[in-house]
Structure 1
Amino acid sequence: MTKAKADAARGPGVRSVLSRLLAGRPLDAAEAENLFTAFMEGRAAPEETAAALAALKVRGETAAEVEGGVRALRSSMIRVELTTRAPAGRRPGGGKPPDPPEELSRFPDLAGGAVDTCGTGGGALTTFNISTASAVLAAAGGVGIAKHGNRSFTSKSGSADVLEALGIPIEVAPEAQAPLYAKRGFIFMFAPAHHPAMRNVAGVRKALGVDTIFNMLGPLANPAMVSRQVVGVADPEKLPLIADVLAGLGHERALVVHGTPGMDEISPLGPTDVIRVENGVAGADRLDPADLGCPASGSADDLAGGTPQDNAEVIEGVLAGNVGGAARAAVVLNAAAAFWAAGAVDDLQTGATLAERTIDEGGAADKLAQLRG
């Protein structure tokens, strides 16, 4: 195929689509996919990419535009095929893994239900990597975790930064991820290793210095193609948008959450707005932490994030049962969401009870020790 024919097959050129964006016209999913494919392939000049991202942000992204962007990222990413997972946990130094909690006995293999926990970032409150801590806790309770993340763009500590500070390897080759998942039931897929084409927009994102549509695309372009997810959203107005995209992408079970005050996680400090997605159907709800056995207490200072090392110390303390209060409640509540997304529990209250017990019985600390090995 000649270059001219190849360009024609891709649809309208970048300049043409950019003109539509600058005129305030929404793109359909196919147009958005073509535009983001051009970004990924380096066919757009930096100023064109910046103009498109700015136009989308000012006007507000649509579900079709986000879905098209996700499909473009998925087309260029290095995937991970997951088939099996390990038992619920393992004692440090080897030995027979403990029996999975009774609540999980009817889920002997959740391989098809691997879960990702992540947020868009950019919230009013910068926390201590709660979604990362909850992923480790959920894995300790028997859920297969396929977490996707990166270093920080807008805060002091991204998921990759804090996992590295915890001593958990983050730069695992894509081809080594599936065997590691089968062994441990937990993997971290470092975004640069799985989305090499993102290097073509990294400079523009850094130069802009603000959240863009890519903050939504990243959490939705998991290399393991998970269909079960907990997605935190910093902007409450984006809740229906993200839920619509997840439903359109065929997610089986997902929670899209925005917590008080301005958190992209379930909050222990007050109500959390939630949209549940189950097999393409979305339903809105409002969660009170007291209803899940964690009455609202503490302040935003109890959840504040710092350097990767600061956050790692908090996470290790929570998982070991040495840190309580709002920090522990936040991790428990978000792990409960992961248990629900996996299909391991029928309601979040049961998930919170399981998360509490996993900490108290030492399973969470054991899991952290295993992941460091």
Structure 2
Amino acid sequence: MAADLSITPLLKLLAQYQESEDKTVSHDLVVSVTAAFASILTENGINEAQRSALLTAMSFSGLSYNSDIITPIVKVMRSVAVKVPIDFHDREFATKKLKLKRHNYHGGFVDIVGTGGDGHNTFNVSTTSALLASPYLLIAKHGNRAATSVSGSSDMISALAGSPSVLSVPPEAVGPILTHHSNLAFLFAPTYHPSLATVAKLRRELGFSTIFNVLGPLANPIEGIEARILGVKNKRLGNVFARVLQLMGIQKGMVVCGDVGRGLDEISPCGTTSCWRLVAAPAGSPPGTLASISEFQLHPERDFGLALHPLEECKSRSPHENADIVKSILRNEVPTGDPIMDYCLLNSAALLVVAEVVDDWKEAVGLIQQAMQEKASLKEWEAYAAACDALHQKNSK
């Protein structure tokens, strides 16, 4: 372990920021905070007392939700993550991407994730939506175990597979699975972000959300993400996260917050959802031109042609109970108008629109329903689960 690095000057800067009426974030503060987190993520050279003080000061000052602060730290976090060695020039992989290309979607990786912590304990809609959209998209679903809900994405995926083998896929196997077996890949966060293990105990002991709760959903380790949907737990974070995606150079993306109570980190089945969509820079724009941000609302009936459902009917159950529901959805055994089914249709259809497979929300719903009727989503999942199981058995010998 490296010798302890003192961040006392930074802690003084943070104290001054918190006490000041001027909430302008200076360049010096950004540089100092980024350097401190780089040390935590690479060397663990800051003692626990100062790491605790840093996380606390960041949270209580509101800087954990500042786009100028978040963006460089996300870049550091992704730079030290375990890489997924995808050969984008591989002929078979390129052919697969070409087959998926449709309208303005170019066959790139797509992700959908919520920040969590909204307190609603809803069904695993992001993960299920990724599965439903997989016949049309190259899915790189980044997920973890439950933090504040009954069933996290990896908890449900493991239960759905009937084996933890889907969580033990090594990074070097992701490319071959995507190339030869399925449009799906589940990237289990601890595999790709081992540096976070050094702060896990501290985060538990602090007992409140820290900037690491914010960073996780932004830190998908795979390169070449074409489009993503990111759910946030309250509306004041919408523009913040949209700005972070914009500064990261994302051209296709949407941040969503359901207008339910304090906020829902998914597209709401029971009313309006506030959205901040990244609109790609026009063709011919200079390299590095950032996307613009368009703010609007979506509604299940008006935009998707789906019925409204109370959120109470979309609650999460145990991972195994949720997995049983997902199996029924993938097998097209769930009746039309089922609340959880419609909840998943909303979010999976939105993923198709954000990726620009189609431009119309209702048309996107129709495509997802068609994939369900043809059991195409089920085939993608079964192919992925089988590939993971075969790999696990091979490595266990």
Question: Structure 2 length normalisation: TM-score?
Answer: 0.81
C-alpha offsets along residues 9-54 of structure 1, whole Å, 9 cap, x if unaligned? xxxx522222222332546443332121122121122222222222
1:34 maps to 2:35: yes
Query: In the alignment, what sits opposite 2:109?
Result: 114
Query: In the alignment, what sits opposite 1:72?
Result: 76
Query: In the alignment, what sits opposite 2:188?
Result: 190
C-alpha offsets along residues 85-114 of structure 1, whole Å, 9 cap, x if unaligned? 7859xxxxxxxxxx97xxx6557960xx21
Mapping for residues 344-359 of structure 1, pairs under 5 Å: 344-359=357-372
1:363 maps to 2:356: no
Change (3 A) 1:317 1:22: farther
Aligned counterpart in structure 2 of residue 291 of structure 1, from 295, 302, 305:
302
- Distance in 2 between the 1:213 and 1:14 partners? 17
8 Å contact from structure 1 (residues 276, 284) kept in 2: yes
1:126 maps to 2:121: yes
Equivalent residues, number: 348
Change (3 A) 1:124 1:321: same
Aligned counterpart in structure 2 of residue 216 of structure 1, from 184, 203, 214:
214
Query: In the alignment, what sits opposite 1:93?
Result: none
- Which blocks of at least 5 consecutive residues in structure 2 are unaligned? 19-24, 281-290, 387-397
Deviation at 1:227, TM superposition (A): 4.1
- Distance in 2 between the 1:340 and 1:283 partners? 14
C-alpha offsets along residues 132-159 of structure 1, whole Å, 9 cap, x if unaligned? 000011112x200011111112222211
Query: In the alignment, what sits opposite 2:157?
Result: 163
Give me the identity figure in percent.
31
Query: In the alignment, what sits opposite 2:269?
Result: 268
Deviation at 1:312, TM superposition (A): 1.1
- Distance in 2 between the 1:175 and 1:80 partners? 6
Deviation at 1:223, TM superposition (A): 0.7
C-alpha offsets along residues 317-358 of structure 1, whole Å, 9 cap, x if unaligned? 222222342211111111112212322112323222211221
- Distance in 2 between the 1:152 and 1:19 partners? 35
- Which blocks of at least 5 consecutive residues in structure 1 are unaligned? 8-12, 89-98
Counterpart secondary structure, 1:169? helix
- Distance in 2 between the 1:227 and 1:17 partners? 36
Query: In the alignment, what sits opposite 1:229?
Result: 228
Deviation at 1:115, TM superposition (A): 0.5
Query: In the alignment, what sits opposite 2:246?
Result: 247
Counterpart secondary structure, 2:221? coil
8 Å contact from structure 2 (residues 304, 361) kept in 1: no
- Distance in 2 between the 1:34 and 1:347 partners? 44
Change (3 A) 1:295 1:46: same
Q: Which amino acid aligns with 1:285?
A: F
Deviation at 1:80, TM superposition (A): 1.6
- Distance in 1 between the 2:172 and 2:375 partners? 32
Q: Which amino acid aligns with 1:39?
A: I
Change (3 A) 1:23 1:259: same
Query: In the alignment, what sits opposite 1:153?
Result: 147
- Distance in 1 between the 2:207 and 2:324 partners? 28
The answer to which of 130-139 and 214-223 deviates more is 214-223
Query: In the alignment, what sits opposite 1:301?
Result: 312
- Distance in 1 between the 2:102 and 2:53 partners? 52
Q: Which amino acid aligns with 1:159?
A: S
1:47 maps to 2:14: no
Q: Which amino acid aligns with 2:198?
A: N
Q: Which amino acid aligns with 2:213?
A: N
Change (3 A) 1:131 1:30: same
Question: Structure 1 length normalisation: TM-score?
Answer: 0.86
- Distance in 2 between the 1:120 and 1:23 partners? 29
Counterpart secondary structure, 1:121? coil
- Distance in 1 between the 2:373 and 2:303 partners? 17
1:175 maps to 2:172: yes
8 Å contact from structure 1 (residues 117, 131) kept in 2: yes
Query: In the alignment, what sits opposite 2:287?
Result: none
Query: In the alignment, what sits opposite 2:333?
Result: 322
- Distance in 1 between the 2:319 and 2:198 partners? 27
